[in-house]
Chain A
Amino acid sequence: MDIFNFTRLPAISSFATSIDDVIGWVTVLVGFWFIVTEVVLFYFILKYRKQNSPKAAYITGEEPELFRWISRPHAAVLVFDVFIVVIGVRVWLDVKQTLPPEPVPHVRVIGQQWAWSFVHPGLDGQLDTADDIKTVDDLHIQTNQQYIWELEARDVLHSFSIPAMRLKQDAVPGRVIKGWMDANAAGVYEIQCAEICGIGHGLMPGKLHVEDAAQHTAWMQAHSPVARIAAN
């Protein structure tokens, strides 16, 4: 639901909207408790001020008719929490526990002090072949195409974050972590490092270029190392 996009950023991946929905629903559900609690708090403070209420009552809190004012909201909070768990887990399963079925193009994302480098599969759609395109700072993908990214780190922990996609994953040295992404709108979006990685942590923004099919193919042809060697 677009109305739940509070981020002032576009929601360009297919899961961005579902994450926005979780945020939206949590806002509604906790917002309810927040408002009710603050209102009751302020109401009691004002109503039972000494000038309005010179003598206090003796209440132990074990009186059943009073204790249910605690136990019932308590139970209601639990019910709301269950609802939030359900919608949250559904999104998590989709984003982090499933990968699109092969064949999809893979891109390699490498974080290091202090830049992102990317290996694109090139025109043949296969990673680790001669026509792979290596770039620094700029990731190019095509609209409406699912990709699997393979995330690595060369030195310390980094974290691959694309806010417009609502995508984020820590990069751990010694591991290759896989996830998926897609984009439904062409444009240029920011990539940030989301794990402190030294003094250059703030100096490694990247750019995600989402291009329609024609532009993307043109870009691959223009940058393909195989084509260049052949041209030379």
Chain B
Amino acid sequence: MAHAVDHAPAHDDHGHHEQSFFMKYMWSTDHKMIAMQYMFTGMLMAMLGGFFAYVFRMQNAFPGMAVPGFGLVTPADYNMLVTNHGTIMIFWVAMPVLVAAFGNFLIPLMVGCDDMVFPKLNRLSYQIFLLSAIVLIAGFFVPGGGFGGAWTAYPPLSAVGVYNLTPMGSSFWVLAVALEFVAFLLGGINFITTSMNSRAPGMKLYDIPIVVWTIVIASVLFMCSVGPLIAGAIMLLFDQNIGTGFFNPAMGGDPVLWQHLFWFFGHPEVYVVLLPTLGIVAEIICVFSRKKLFAYQTVLYTMFGTGILSFTVWAHHQFISGIDPRMANVFTITTLLISVPIAEMLFVYIATLYKGSITLSTPMLWALGFIATFLIGGVTGIYLGTAGSDIYFHDTYFVLAHFHYTFFPIAIIGTYAGVTYWYPKMFGRMLDETLGKIHFWLTFIPFNCIFIPLFFLGLWGEHRRIYSYELFDELWKYQGIRQFATVALVVMLAAQAIFIWNFFKSLWSGPIAGPNPYNANTLEWQCPSPPPHGNFAELPTVYRPPYEYSHPDRKEDFWPQNSPV
């Protein structure tokens, strides 16, 4: 272990220099600023994705009516909105906020060093990410409009302009996604190298906070799974533009090949976003129940196991797609197997609450809300992972409700949990607790009101990606339920204004947060709020694991990792 003079004050070699606005906010290599860039970009994209959901749900609930703020929704519009809602939420909201924003902000702080290992590469990764967002949005304005072949982009629909009627938009979409992948591959280099190589002296592998581990494992999963889809994206771009035949049966190609390439990545991808949220929830539960994480090593190995298993389940998305039916049985087994470690994670979090002393702060409400709702997502996955029942449920609203009960807890509840928890550290002020709790309930309850009915609609035979059910006699009678869900969505979206108000108001007038308002142990709470350039006045040394709360030998119920006693 080579430790240079790092107990000396960090950055004693730059007697600084007031940075210009451009250098400080737009050209920074500081991991905290890059984290903010990812976070704000992700939140803006979330507003766009949410707006798309509002428009297509309004069309669904009140077909043919001009949607306030958008106008009439044509079938082409509907497909474009549905496609880009999903694409934006997964690639331009969940990934940047959960992996890049929290990863960038937390990792150097939590392992006790002054920045990421490759700061310029870090900056480049954000710039490529921003470019990918610009390319995606540019695609909405080209002739023909934005791509409308679903976020899964199955060829031949996605490959042939005559079929999808958005020839330019399709290519912009694929290019944007490919650029986003490159950005995250570059970003991942920093997460791995910094957490493995730049740890504070004394921080052994089992002393690393779980959220750092989860982001590291997520980055490895991403790197190992995205390659085939990058190859696939190149193949699709070529099919779209230069007449190749990778997915064209007439030229000897195979449409189902794309599905394999897509889902080989697509399934690990959901764990790429799940793991960081699991990490965030773990941190919050420990702090707000004043308890050590139950069975840390088991949790860690379960996460590794889940990551590895996630590579073996992908074709459960393709049971009836024309794959060899015998393969479906293999994937049923592997898919049901993966429910076991996930269930274990939830059991462990509940066990961490046992004999704790629980404070129901806003972050804790979000963390507990995650457990309660992700559980629904998890159990409903069993219906879909079993090929026999998936015959009925495939492409229905049941699938949609299942993945919103996984993705929404992961991306939205997890984000709010993390932002409300680390806001004091990021900005030096406390958020308003009352507004925070109102925002929580006005998000949580409407969320359930939107998606529980959708489970039933799927059970009753309603298929996805259909812009109006007027032509379907068996389904039209449930229109009232669709309207109820849509009203709940509008309420939920409107309530996000409370969060935005709270966020900005507290920046100026929230109570000043000290370095450690929650009496937490991990290293990010042992430096000023917000941390200055270089993070720690004196780089810390670590003496113990991260969750020594309520230790019997201590008077106080917390024991920071870097306190020598």
Indicate if the CB atoms of B472 and A192 lie closer than 8 Å. Answer: yes
B156 contact from A166, A173, A194, Cβ within 8 A:
A173
- Given contacts A19-B388, A59-B292, A87-B388, whether A170 and B163 have CB atoms under 8 Å apart is no
Indicate if A128 sits at the interface (CB-CB under 8 A): no
Indicate if the CB atoms of A61 and B292 lie closer than 8 Å. Answer: yes
> How far apart sit A205 and B290, CA to CA, in the bound complex (Å)?
57
> How far apart sit A66 and B75, CA to CA, in the bound complex (Å)?
56
Indicate if the CB atoms of A61 and B298 lie closer than 8 Å. Answer: yes
Indicate if B339 sits at the interface (CB-CB under 8 A): yes
Indicate if A95 sits at the interface (CB-CB under 8 A): yes
**A195: which B residues are within 8 A, CB to CB?**
154, 395
> How far apart sit A203 and B467, CA to CA, in the bound complex (Å)?
9
Indicate if A23 sits at the interface (CB-CB under 8 A): yes
Indicate if A9 sits at the interface (CB-CB under 8 A): yes
Contact residues, B209-240 vs A (CB, 8 A): none
Indicate if B463 sits at the interface (CB-CB under 8 A): yes
Indicate if the CB atoms of A26 and B382 lie closer than 8 Å. Answer: yes
**A203: which B residues are within 8 A, CB to CB?**
75, 471
- Given contacts A33-B379, A196-B150, whether A48 and B466 have CB atoms under 8 Å apart is no
* B5-13, B133-141, B350-358, B410-418: which lies at the interface: B350-358
Q: How many residues of B contact A (CB 8 A)?
A: 96
**B516: which A residues are within 8 A, CB to CB?**
none
**B27: which A residues are within 8 A, CB to CB?**
none
Mask, A136-178, CB within 8 Å of B = 1, is 0000000000000000000111010101101111101111010
Closest to B364 in A: A45
Closest to B329 in A: A89
Indicate if the CB atoms of A53 and B357 lie closer than 8 Å. Answer: yes
- Given contacts A60-B295, A199-B75, whether A37 and B550 have CB atoms under 8 Å apart is no
**B438: which A residues are within 8 A, CB to CB?**
none
Mask, A9-44, CB within 8 Å of B = 1, is 100000000110011001001110110011011001
Closest to B256 in A: A172
Closest to B554 in A: A58
Q: How many residues of A contact B (CB 8 A)?
A: 87
Indicate if B459 sits at the interface (CB-CB under 8 A): yes
Indicate if the CB atoms of A37 and B350 lie closer than 8 Å. Answer: yes
> How far apart sit A78 and B343, CA to CA, in the bound complex (Å)?
10
Indicate if the CB atoms of B472 and A56 lie closer than 8 Å. Answer: no
Indicate if the CB atoms of B348 and A61 lie closer than 8 Å. Answer: yes
Indicate if A91 sits at the interface (CB-CB under 8 A): yes
> How far apart sit A8 and B478, CA to CA, in the bound complex (Å)?
12
**B74: which A residues are within 8 A, CB to CB?**
199
B461 contact from A7, A73, A88, A155, Cβ within 8 A:
A7
- Given contacts A9-B460, A87-B388, A170-B320, whether A58 and B292 have CB atoms under 8 Å apart is yes
> How far apart sit A90 and B386, CA to CA, in the bound complex (Å)?
11
Indicate if the CB atoms of A37 and B459 lie closer than 8 Å. Answer: no
**A67: which B residues are within 8 A, CB to CB?**
295, 298
Indicate if the CB atoms of B391 and A53 lie closer than 8 Å. Answer: no
Indicate if B533 sits at the interface (CB-CB under 8 A): no
Indicate if the CB atoms of A88 and B388 lie closer than 8 Å. Answer: yes
**B26: which A residues are within 8 A, CB to CB?**
none
Q: How far is the CB of A96 from chain B (nearest CB, A)?
A: 4
Closest to B290 in A: A56
> How far apart sit A9 and B532, CA to CA, in the bound complex (Å)?
63
**A190: which B residues are within 8 A, CB to CB?**
461, 472-475
25 A-B residue pairings within 8 Å (CB atoms) = A8-B459, A9-B461, A19-B389, A19-B391, A38-B372, A56-B355, A57-B291, A58-B551, A60-B294, A60-B295, A61-B295, A88-B387, A89-B332, A89-B388, A92-B387, A156-B160, A168-B394, A170-B320, A177-B322, A190-B475, A192-B463, A196-B149, A196-B465, A199-B79, A199-B148
List the 10 closest pairs (A to B, CB-CB), nearest first: A174-B249, A61-B295, A91-B388, A61-B294, A163-B461, A88-B386, A202-B466, A57-B355, A88-B388, A194-B395
Chain A interface residues (CB < 8 Å from chain B)? 6-9, 18-19, 22-23, 26, 29-31, 33-34, 37-38, 40-41, 44-45, 48-50, 53-62, 66-67, 69-70, 73-74, 77-78, 81, 84-85, 87-93, 95-97, 113, 155-157, 159, 161, 163-164, 166-170, 172-175, 177, 189-190, 192-203, 205
Further pairs besides A44-B354, A59-B355, A156-B163: 5, Cβ < 8 Å: A37-B375, A73-B343, A81-B340, A190-B475, A192-B461
